[in-house]
Structure 1
Amino acid sequence: MTKLTLGSHPYLLGFEQLERLMERTAKTGNEGYPPFNIEQTSDHGYRITLAVAGFREEDLSITVEDSQLVIRGRNSDDGDDRVFLHRGIAARQFQRSFVLADGVEVAGATMEHGLLHVDLKRSVPETVVQTIKINQG
């Protein structure tokens, strides 16, 4: 019995890249920090919210690299002379990655009350009907 993978199924033509995409997503190495939510805001809109308490806007970067949304945080500790009796607020750097489907773009980002909101929008492709002429050979 031959095992069919997603990319080799006879009715899914041209989806080989989807299998590679799923493998790449599994390798992103995202740990549990910082915590995040993903919500659907409309039929074609999404919002990713990350809890980034202690980070300033200039400590964060948001990029799209090869259909992958990458959010990085690097907290600049400007209070080296401070002595903590207890440090429960994480101040470590992080990187969160999210794979974006074709047609999904970053609409913008805002920060409020220690939460970073990244809004995404999905453009709806036009339906195209194409008639193929059969040539006689």
Structure 2
Amino acid sequence: MTKLTLGAHPFLLGFEQLERLVERTAKSGNEGYPPYNIEQTSETSYRITLAVAGFSISDLAITVEDNQLVIRGRQQDDDEGRLFLHRGIAARQFQRSFVLADGVDVGEAIMENGLLHVDLNRQVPESVVQTIQIRRK
């Protein structure tokens, strides 16, 4: 019995890239830090919120690479001359990746009370009906 992958299904023409996209997402290395929420704010918009307490705006970078939203955080090491009796707040770097569908654009990013909000907007394509003429040979 032959294993049929999603991208090779005969009714899904032109979706070969979908399987590669799923594999890339699985390998993105997202661990549980920092915690985040994804909410739908309207019919065509979403908001990703990351808890980035301790990070300043200059410690964060947001990029879109091949339909993948990547949010990176790297804190500057300012521990020189400090003696910690207990250190429970980790100053570690992170990278969070989110795959964006075609037509989803990144809007604005807002930092508020230790939360980073990234707004996404989905463009609704117009419905197009195309009639194909059949000719005789």
TM over 0.5: yes
Distance in 2, matches of 1:113 and 1:86, equals: 24
CA distance in 1, matches of 2:53, 2:80: 19
Shift of 1:92: 0.5
3-state SS in 1 of match to 2:54 = coil
Give SS of 1:24's match: helix
Give yes or no for the alignment of 1:65 onto 2:65: yes
DSSP-derived class of the 2:21 partner? helix
2:108 is aligned to 108
Q: Secondary structure at the match of 1:75?
A: coil
| 2:10 matches 1:10 | yes
In structure 1, the residue matched to 2:124 is: 124
TM-score normalised by length of structure 1:
0.96
C-alpha root-mean-square deviation of aligned residues, in Å? 0.9
More deviation in 71-80 or 12-21?
A: 71-80
The alignment's TM-score, normalised by the length of structure 2, stands at: 0.96
Alignment of 1:1-137 (within 5 A): 1-137=1-137
Structure 1 gaps, min length 5: none
Amino acid of the structure 2 residue aligned with 1:116: L
- 1:79 CA displacement: 4.0
Gaps of 5+ in 2: none
User: In percent, how many aligned pairs have the same letter?
Assistant: 77
Three-state SS of the structure 1 residue aligned to 2:91 is: coil
